[in-house]
Each structure stands twice: as C-alpha cells, then as structure tokens.
Structure 1
C-alpha cells in the first residue's frame, strides 16, 4: 500500500508526494469517491466557507484556515521530526520559510531540556 498521496499540481506549481500516516490513509480510503476518483470534489472557496461556518458554530474568533498549517508544522517539530522531515511533509522549500511557519512553545522546549 502506498504511504503517501501524489499531488500532480500544488500551489507553487510543482508536483510532490505527501507522506501520510496510516490513520490518514485509513480515513481517506473510507471516504466515498467522485466519479473522477477524487475524494474532495470541491473548490478552495467551498473549503474556506465550510471552515468559516465551523469556526462560527464553535464560537472561535480570529482563527484562519492557514493558521492550521502553522500549528501542524510546530507540532511536527515537537514530536521530534527534524527540519528535513518536516519540510518534506509540509512542502516548504527553504529553511527560511519553514522557520516562518514554526512556532514552538517555550514550555515544551524547557521540558525537553530537562
């Protein structure tokens, strides 16, 4: 079984394969497919509107969909992934951009220091 998802077209125009956890693969495999084989037959605008509605229902103010990428990047480092691994997962091409998306918590770093 494939452990990643090949994206032929990304935001920056480059194709890449995104590594996926076994849980993510199982979740995606359980979802129904469109006739063209895609799981999500929606547009960016559709996803954005669904996110906005979910935040409104949960009474969350000030959170953007893009904030989730920052959060995920930081949590990957906290799980012990190294910069090369994180950039492969997130698609960041440069260390500078990866650093911009990483917001580590001081208390977590202090715990690791002992």
Structure 2
C-alpha cells in the first residue's frame, strides 16, 4: 500500500508530538527516501555510508547480495544531523522498538492499515514517478525479478494522466 495524500505529514507530526524513540522520525524518512528494508536500515554502519558521494553500501541484504543505494538530498540531510554511535551503527536501535514506536505513531496519526514495510512500497513507487526505469529501480531496491518489483509498484493515476496528456 502507498501513503495517501496527507499521511506522510500526519505520521511525521504524530512522531514529533509524542514518541519515546528519537530514532523513529529519521528512520521513517530514510525508509521513504531509500526504499531500504527495516533490517537493512538498522544494520547500516557509518563505515558503509558516504554522505559526500551520497551512497550507502549494504553488505547484508534479504537476498544475500550486497548493493549500493544512492541517497537523495533528503536522506543525506537525515544522516547529517545524526550522532555518530560508538559501535558504528547509523541507527543504534532494535527492530522491536522501531516496530512498537511505529505502530503507536500510526495510531496517533489516525492512519489505518499502514505497516513499516509499506514505506518500501512508497519509495519504489516514487522512484518510478521520478522517471527512473525498471533496471534503475531494481538496482536501488534490490529486487531480482520484475514480478517482485511489480508487487511494490503502485503508480498514481493522476501522475499517469499528466504523462499521457
């Protein structure tokens, strides 16, 4: 599922208004901007991030193959304000605490049926809407088959109307 019209704003506002997890907002924005899985975000280490070149190198992915993820200007902005942790993790927080904080924020925002993994669907769809082709999006997202990539792609009809004139 994709984020609806104002859901990103509502979610980020809900996170700002009350959360015990200071990592949640940067993680949510980073997920939307990169299309990375939660596990990939949480295992990311500073040694594998180059904000100057705007790239993050993932060594451990779901399909077992590493990949480089280009970072948008917004993703780099998120990284620039984060403190550097001693253990080298970019986001030194557990998957469980992110999951719980996300569920609470979604509820506070009054959003129904939104899961963290939906942010990956949103990111993939936005990459296509920006004009990237199938191979470029697959390279960023790490999808190996067109069938899987299609499952993550939910294009906006109004954007398609603009393209066809």
Same fold (TM over 0.5): yes
Q: Which residue of 2 aligns with 1:86?
A: 137
The 5 Å alignment of 1:92-103 reads 92-103=143-154
Over the aligned positions, Cα root-mean-square deviation in angstroms equals 1.4
What secondary structure does 1:104 align onto? coil
Q: Which residue of 1 aligns with 2:20?
A: none
**Larger radius of gyration, structure 1 or 2?**
1
What secondary structure does 2:56 align onto? strand
Unaligned runs of 5+ in 1: none
What secondary structure does 2:161 align onto? helix
Q: Which residue of 2 aligns with 1:16?
A: 67
TM-score by length of 2: 0.64
Tell me how far 1:105 sits from its aligned partner: 2.0
Contact 2:67–2:139 (Cα < 8 Å) also in 1: no
Higher-RCO chain (CA-CA 8 Å, sequence separation at least 6): 2
Tell me how far 1:52 sits from its aligned partner: 0.4
| Mapped partners of 1:109, 1:73: distance in 2 | 16
Unaligned runs of 5+ in 2: 1-51
Deviations 1:52-89 (CA, angstroms, capped at 9, x unpaired): 01101111111111111112111211111111111122
